Amino acid sequence: MIDQEKTKEQLIEELLQLRRRVAELEGEAERNIGVEEQPSRIHRYLVDGKYGIRDLVDIDALRRVLQAFSKATGFTTGLVDYPMQKVLIATGWREICAKFHRAYPDSMRRCKKSNALLTEQLQSQKRSSINECENGLMDGATPIIIKGIHIASIKTGQVFFQRPHMEYFRNQAEMFGYDPEEYINALNAVPVVSEGQFRDALSFLSELATMIVELGMNNLEIRGTLNELEEEISERKRTEFALNNSREELKHLSSRLLIAQEEERKRIAGELHDSLGSHLTAVTFALQTARKRLSRGVSDPSCLDNPIAEVKSIIEEVRGIWMALRPTILDNVGLLPALDWYLDQYANNYPEIGVAREFQIDEINIPEQLKIVLFRIVQEAFNNIAKHSQAKSAQIHMKWTDSGIELTIKDNGVGFDMAALQPSAGEERGIGLTSMRERAELSGGVFAFKSIPGRGTTLRTYWPL
């Protein structure tokens, strides 16, 4: 009998050693799992690649519901996310799990392994599942699946379907190092329920999971709608900001254009007064003198030479004024002759600036609506060169490409700091640049310019055709 008793003790000791070794191996296997791969693959388990259970469900509200369920039924509950298996909610948990099974590393690994097995069953069956955990208690779970993605599970359990085998749990206490007396007391507190009762509780949790899915879908739709509204609001704010900027720019431009208009009127009035006025006064005196001589009977045709010369000068002055306002040559002959005429006049007026021109385009390739735009941009650009650049030379190049018309104007003047260009510091230049940009863009073109202090300015405009 003594030999037999020793043999039984030896067998129990070997069994305990074997279980300890299995627990050690399971721990090593768990530590060797490629955890680093999880972050890169976790998006596969999120709804729409970005929403988890905590994004779609009010966890605090669900916790209150599950707490009420545990209090009313005595069944435990747990909300576990997937795939990380993190416990988000735990209600009514037994002391045997909270104080022992999940508090000791070796038995905790068994809990994780049992949870993984139960989760695998949920993944394959897509419905509620019941399983006995490796620590000897019954567990059940139901999946929460939204848009085909398993994002969490509701679990219950920590019960027995029949009275436990006490010797098994005493051995388990010894194997994991639990306090035997406290562990057995915790074991005796675990309820024994029928499988039918357990399935009824699991069925309720399954219905709750269905409600959670519907709530999650609704929240997902609401979130999508809110995202769309936020994007729409942001877009409207951007549009409103751009519109306000455009309004301010238009208001500023209108104000400057009114000033420019008054300056132009003042210039024309000055030309009429200084040039035409003096010529007309001279004609008046000459005609009065001729009339006196004729009244005295002096018949001398030469007395009309001066009035005729003054009238010719008046005609030239008037022609210069209306050509500056809108050159008739542009309408009668075309843009290229009009530019040649304007650049010739410019060379006469500003002989200190050498002007080089190159037109690689035929008149027929220039749309009618662009001719006045091109002329005004050239006119404004060369006016700016004369007023501000202190340049010794300027170039104009206009060419036709397969895709459109390109106009380039360069000078070798003093240039300017583009960042420091402000209306108050360079009102006329600001008007000129803004006017040219407006003309180009309103006619479907693209306007760009670059200026470097001490190295001149380059203006480029392109119209796709």
pLDDT of residue 426: 41
Radius of gyration of the chain measured on its C-alpha atoms: 47
Sorting pLDDT into bands at 50, 70 and 90, what band is 312? Answer: confident
Write out pLDDT tens, residues 246-297.
Answer: 788 777 777 776 776 777 777 777 767 776 777 777 778 778 877 777 777 7
Alpha-carbon distance of 457 to 167, in angstroms, equals 97
The verdict on 13 and 46 lying in the same domain is no
Which CATH number fits the domain that encloses residue 409? 3.30.565.10
In this structure, is residue 417 part of a structural domain?
A: yes
Is the pLDDT higher at 3 or at 265? 265
For 327-343, what is the mean pLDDT? Answer: 89
Q: What's the start-to-end Cα distance of the chain, in Å? A: 110
Write out pLDDT tens, residues 352-366.
Answer: 999 999 999 999 999
| Residue (of 306, 303, 307, 282) closest to 294 by Cα position | 303
The verdict on 60 and 149 lying in the same domain is yes
Write out pLDDT tens, residues 60-104.
Answer: 988 999 999 999 999 999 999 888 888 899 999 999 999 999 999
Alpha-carbon distance of 353 to 394, in angstroms, equals 7
In this structure, is residue 205 part of a structural domain?
A: yes
In this structure, is residue 29 part of a structural domain?
A: yes
Is the pLDDT higher at 310 or at 275? 310
For residue 451, give the 3-state DSSP assignment: strand
| Residue (of 433, 390, 436) closest to 411 by Cα position | 390
Burial 87-120 (b: 16+ CB within 10 A, else e): ebbbbbbbbbbebbbbebebbbbbbebbbebbbe
Number of folded domains in the chain? 3
Distances (CA, A) of 38 to 44, 81, 115, 340, 364: 10, 14, 18, 73, 67
In this structure, is residue 375 part of a structural domain?
A: yes
If one counts every other C-beta atom within 10 angstroms of the C-beta of residue 405, the result is 20
The verdict on 134 and 28 lying in the same domain is no
Amino acid identity of residue 381, one-letter, is: A
pLDDT of residue 377: 93
In this structure, is residue 300 part of a structural domain?
A: no
The verdict on 28 and 54 lying in the same domain is no
H or E, element range at 318: helix 305-325
Say what percent of the chain tops pLDDT 70: 85
Write out pLDDT tens, residues 91-141.
Answer: 999 999 999 999 999 899 898 888 888 888 887 777 788 999 999 999 999
The verdict on 146 and 167 lying in the same domain is yes
The verdict on 21 and 63 lying in the same domain is no
In this structure, is residue 319 part of a structural domain?
A: no
Mean pLDDT of the chain: 82
In this structure, is residue 268 part of a structural domain?
A: no
Listed range (13-22, 162-171, 341-350) with the worst mean pLDDT: 13-22
Given 187, 220, 253, the domain boundary residue is 220
The verdict on 160 and 185 lying in the same domain is yes
Statement: residue 50 has pLDDT above 50: yes
Is the pLDDT higher at 381 or at 270? 381
Is the pLDDT higher at 35 or at 265? 265
In this structure, is residue 82 part of a structural domain?
A: yes
The verdict on 204 and 349 lying in the same domain is no
How much is the pTM?
0.45
The verdict on 27 and 118 lying in the same domain is no
Sorting pLDDT into bands at 50, 70 and 90, what band is 151? Answer: confident
For 449, the domain range is 334-465
H or E, element range at 131: strand 129-132
Given 189, 205, 220, the domain boundary residue is 220
pLDDT of residue 22: 56
The verdict on 176 and 107 lying in the same domain is yes
The verdict on 361 and 459 lying in the same domain is yes
DSSP codes of every residue in 9-28: HHHHHHHHHHHHHHHHHHHH
* Greatest alpha-carbon span in the chain: 176
Given a contact cutoff of 8 angstroms between Cβ atoms, the answer to whether 391 and 217 are in contact is no
Statement: residue 3 has pLDDT above 70: no
What are the residue ranges of helices labelled H in 46-165?
Answer: 53-56, 59-73, 95, 105-125
In this structure, what token pair is assigned to residue 102?
């999940």
pLDDT of residue 329: 82
Listed range (148-162, 293-307, 321-335) with the worst mean pLDDT: 293-307
The verdict on 20 and 91 lying in the same domain is no
Which CATH number fits the domain that encloses residue 130? 3.30.450
pLDDT of residue 323: 67
Q: Cis peptide leading into 83, omega within 30 of 0?
A: yes
